[in-house]
């Protein structure tokens, strides 16, 4: 009976993944059409295909284009890095949120639970205060994000409480500590230049992203996302009791540590390049559960696709809604908070498929 139900469900989920994948591609390509300088879709596709061909052939194959240098610069140097970065950050935050929620068996858990976001925020604030370059700000934010989680883990090791509970409590404490440190940095920062820069960065934005910034963020994000996708088959066992998991021969301690490391890595890298963007890792996994159920074999890849498409769409809105760009953190809060309240009122509209 169960086998028949699974076989009937496969085409349904396959179609949903197909529509989700098509939606991701449409949002990705449509994002290139937005901007002050108009570049047609046909020209954009030719520029992108030529650029990709040259990269794959290591420069051996070069094609002459019918576009102008300005059009190529707009597509490759301005829009491509930003769109790729939005897709990577959205996918990373959403996958990290889904992984944390499954590991802690709590749908209210978000990627910044372990202090990675607040640690990265303090690192970026300190770097701005010290006058670092944009790339230096990213590196500092990334290092402090990882350092905050490492500190929380070390504190939890000395606790006599349950290991998972101790880790959560240590993460909350470390997050509060770094928030206080960020407030102190804002207090002593120059009110004319440094304080506005710190405040704007903390609200989240991709307006300053360049190709090297996207490349810097892509490495740790992919190093964390790929293992999460490979481990998604085992994440289902984290939702059962410890005794049941051990009876199946699973070392839950190692699996939890691997999930924490990967989710933290992608969160720290995302915050380092985009600033603090909330709600993506909290709300998107809930939508994915409504469409794809609670099975992490489907939930994690669905979160990757939907999270990437969602943040690209939010970034598109930020670019066109006003003459001066709105921070992404504000827009995601406007979208995420009402939707999440609706889900709460509906009694957790998640349902098993």
Is 341 contained in some domain? yes
Is 351 contained in some domain? no
Is 353 contained in some domain? no
- Sign of the dihedral through C-alpha 217, 223, 224, 230: positive
Is 182 contained in some domain? yes
Phi, psi of 106 (to 5 degrees): -145, 115
Is 307 contained in some domain? yes
Is 44 contained in some domain? yes
Is 350 contained in some domain? no
What range defines the domain where residue 66 resides?
2-345
Q: 236 falls in which pLDDT band (50, 70, 90)?
A: confident
Per-residue pLDDT tens over the stretch 201-224? 999 999 889 999 999 999 999 999
181: domain CATH number?
Answer: 1.10.3470.10
Per-residue pLDDT tens over the stretch 71-122? 999 999 999 999 999 999 999 999 999 998 888 877 778 888 788 899 999 9
Per-residue pLDDT tens over the stretch 76-90? 999 999 999 999 999
Rounded to whole angstroms, the Cα distance separating 220 from 315 reads 22
Q: Provide the whole-model pTM.
A: 0.88
121 and 276 Cβ atoms separated by less than 8 Å: yes
**Mean pLDDT of the chain, nearest integer:** 86
Per-residue pLDDT tens over the stretch 144-189? 999 999 998 898 888 877 777 888 889 889 999 999 999 999 999 9
Q: 352 falls in which pLDDT band (50, 70, 90)?
A: very low
Instruction: Name the token pair of 323.
Output: 């003459």
Is 28 contained in some domain? yes
- As for how many domains the chain has, the answer is 1
CB atoms under 10 Å from CB of 132, counted, come to 17
Which of 130-139, 154-163, 227-236 shows the lowest per-residue confidence on average (mean pLDDT)?
A: 154-163
| Dihedral in degrees, nearest 10, Cα atoms 261, 166, 96, 335 | -150
pLDDT at 167: 84
> Is residue 220 exposed (0-12), middle (13-18) or buried (19+ Cβ within 10 Å)?
buried
352 and 290 Cβ atoms separated by less than 8 Å: no
Decide which of 25 and 339 is more confident.
25
């Amino acid at each position: 009976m169960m086998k028949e139900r699974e076989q009937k469900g496969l085409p349904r989920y396959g179609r949903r993944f197909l529509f989700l994948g098509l939606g991701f591609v449409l949002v990705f390509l449509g994002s290139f059409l937005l901007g002050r300088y108009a570049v047609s879709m046909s020209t954009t596709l030719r520029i992108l295909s030529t650029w990709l061909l040259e990269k794959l052939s290591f420069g051996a194959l070069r094609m002459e284009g019918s576009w102008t240098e300005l059009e190529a610069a707009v597509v490759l140097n301005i829009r491509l890095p930003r769109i790729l970065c939005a897709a990577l950050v959205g996918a990373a935050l959403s996958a990290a949120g889904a992984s944390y929620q499954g590991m802690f068996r709590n749908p209210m858990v978000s990627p910044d639970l372990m202090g990675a976001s607040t640690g990265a925020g303090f690192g970026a604030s300190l770097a701005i205060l010290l006058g670092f370059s944009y790339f230096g700000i990213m590196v500092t934010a990334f290092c402090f994000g990882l350092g905050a989680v490492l500190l929380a883990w070390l504190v939890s090791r000395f606790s006599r409480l349950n290991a998972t509970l101790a880790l959560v409590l240590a993460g909350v404490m470390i997050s509060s500590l770094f928030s206080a440190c960020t407030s102190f940095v804002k207090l002593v920062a120059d009110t004319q230049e440094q304080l506005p820069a710190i405040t704007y960065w903390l609200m989240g934005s991709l307006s300053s992203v360049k190709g090297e910034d996207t490349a810097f963020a892509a490495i740790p994000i992919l190093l964390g996302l790929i293992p999460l996708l490979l481990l998604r088959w085992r994440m289902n066992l984290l939702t059962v009791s410890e005794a049941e998991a051990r009876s199946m021969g699973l070392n839950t301690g190692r699996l939890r540590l691997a999930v924490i490391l990967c989710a933290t890595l992608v969160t720290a890298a995302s915050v380092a390049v985009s600033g603090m963007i909330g709600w993506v890792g909290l709300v998107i996994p809930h939508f994915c559960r409504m469409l794809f159920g609670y099975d992490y074999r489907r939930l994690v890849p669905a979160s990757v696709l939907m999270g990437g498409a969602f943040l690209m769409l939010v970034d598109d809105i930020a670019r066109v809604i006003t003459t001066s760009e709105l921070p992404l953190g504000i827009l995601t809060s406007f979208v995420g908070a009402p939707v999440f309240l609706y889900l709460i009122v509906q009694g957790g509209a998640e349902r098993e498929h």
